[in-house]
């Protein structure tokens, strides 16, 4: 609040995006992707935000007024895929720059559009994910790296890490040899998160129990990255991302990374309220989690 003169009492900072000076000076081909709790998504040119005065600029107009709020902003290019994840455990994946063709109802000519069109600053965006009543978008992943991991963390201390993948069906192999079934037919499996259409409810990505819900979604490009989990009572733990177990199946509950159950395990005494990721390249040389503990 000391830095942002125009911030109101009911506002809070959602995202901080470090940008290289060269990118600000030459933003061609770069965008900002916005996601809201009610499932709206917006794509704007980075050049719209190259120069911002101390009073700030309006970047998004909410379609649902006070009932919606911003949850994530990420830099993007036309090569990136987007994954929206909801609190109830669904994930909707699509490529904003993918072209769609349709016949014009007026002329019958073929018209080419994009999954998510570029919009100016004062706009509402488009529907990114269909949500059930009471559900909300928790986070957004924007990347073109299929080898990156998507880590979802629930409020009761469960974590599930899965490779983003291409989303396509690929041959299942064992030691480089294709696997076939009893009928001699080659077996295929889904490579990571399946692509869905924008504006759909997506697919199940994490099984949640006992009233649990996802509270954080993090992209893990390097398993050496470290995580900080903070609970409502003020407890914090720090762990290496690679200590979370990778799961292939989407309808799984993941593994427990923090014990938050009460003494007799009939309920929960605490819950995770915040998660931060420390990139591995920012960790001091020679520093290790064991040495600090």
| pLDDT at residue 9 is higher than 60 | yes
pLDDT band at 1 (very low <50, low <70, confident <90, very high): low
| pTM for this model (two decimals) | 0.88
Q: Average of pLDDT values for 100-109?
A: 80
Q: Most confidently modeled of 56-65, 109-118, 131-140?
A: 131-140
State the average pLDDT for the chain: 89
| pLDDT at residue 291 is higher than 50 | no
* Comparison of pLDDT for 90 and 49, the residue scoring more: 90
| pLDDT at residue 133 is higher than 70 | yes
Say what the pLDDT of residue 250 is. Answer: 64
Say what the pLDDT of residue 15 is. Answer: 87
Residue with token string 């001091």: 284
Instruction: Please report, rounded to a whole number, the percentage of residues in the chain having pLDDT higher than 70.
Output: 96
| pLDDT at residue 292 is higher than 50 | no
Inter-CA distances, 149 with 132, 244, 260, 282, Å: 26, 11, 25, 19
Which region among 46-55, 91-100, 120-129, 152-161 has the lowest average model confidence (pLDDT)?
Answer: 46-55
Phi and psi at residue 280, in whole multiples of 5°?
A: -60, -30
Phi and psi at residue 236, in whole multiples of 5°?
A: -130, 140
Q: Most confidently modeled of 65-69, 102-106, 112-116, 271-275?
A: 271-275
Say what the pLDDT of residue 217 is. Answer: 95
Q: How far is CA 263 from the centre of its chain?
A: 33
- pLDDT tens digits, one per residue of 233-259: 999 999 999 999 888 766 788 899 999
Exposure string of 244-274, with b = 16+ CB inside 10 Å and e = fewer, is beebeebebbbeebbebeeeeeeebebbbee
Say what the pLDDT of residue 219 is. Answer: 94
Q: How many angstroms separate the CA atoms of 39 and 131, rounded?
A: 7
Say what the pLDDT of residue 32 is. Answer: 95
What does the chain look like in DSSP terms, one character per residue? --S-TT--TT----------HHHHH--TT-EEEEEETTSEEEEEEGGGGSS--TT-------TTGGG--EEEEEEE-TT-EEEEEETTSEEEEE-TT-EEEEE-TTT--EEEEESS-B--SS---EE-----TT--EEEEEEES-TT-EEEEEETTSEEEEEE----SEEE-EETTEE-B-TTSPBPEEE-SSPP--TTS--EE-----TT--EEEEEEES-TT-EEEEEETTS-EEEEEGGGSPB-S-SS---EE-S--B-TTSSSBS--EEEEEEE-GGGSPTT--HHHH-
């Amino acid at each position: 609040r000391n830095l942002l003169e125009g911030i109101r009492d009911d506002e809070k900072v959602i995202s901080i995006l470090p940008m290289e000076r060269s990118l600000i000076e030459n933003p061609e081909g770069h965008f900002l992707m916005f996601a809201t709790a009610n499932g709206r998504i917006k794509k704007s040119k980075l050049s719209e935000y190259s120069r911002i005065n101390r009073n700030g600029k309006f970047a998004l107009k909410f379609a649902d007024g006070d009932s919606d709020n911003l949850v994530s902003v990420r830099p993007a290019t036309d090569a990136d895929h987007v994954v929206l994840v909801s609190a109830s455990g669904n994930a909707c994946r699509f490529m904003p720059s993918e072209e769609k063709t349709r016949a014009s109802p007026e002329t019958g000519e073929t018209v080419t559009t994009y999954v998510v069109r570029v919009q100016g600053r004062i706009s509402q965006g488009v529907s990114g994910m269909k949500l059930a009543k009471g559900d909300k978008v928790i986070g957004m992943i924007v990347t073109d790296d299929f080898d990156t991991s998507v880590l979802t963390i629930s409020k009761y201390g469960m974590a599930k890490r899965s490779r983003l993948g291409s989303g396509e069906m690929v041959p299942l192999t064992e030691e480089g040899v294709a696997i076939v079934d009893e009928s001699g037919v080659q077996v295929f499996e889904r490579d990571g998160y399946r692509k869905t259409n924008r504006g759909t409810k997506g697919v199940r990505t994490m099984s949640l129990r006992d009233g649990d819900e996802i509270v954080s979604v993090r992209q893990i490009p390097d398993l050496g990255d470290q995580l900080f989990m903070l609970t409502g009572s003020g407890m914090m733990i720090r762990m290496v991302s690679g200590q979370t177990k990778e799961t292939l199946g989407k309808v799984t509950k993941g593994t427990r990374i923090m014990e938050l159950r009460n003494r007799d395990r009939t309920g929960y005494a605490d819950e995770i309220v915040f998660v931060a990721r420390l990139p591995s390249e920012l960790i001091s040389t020679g520093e290790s989690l064991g040495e600090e503990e």
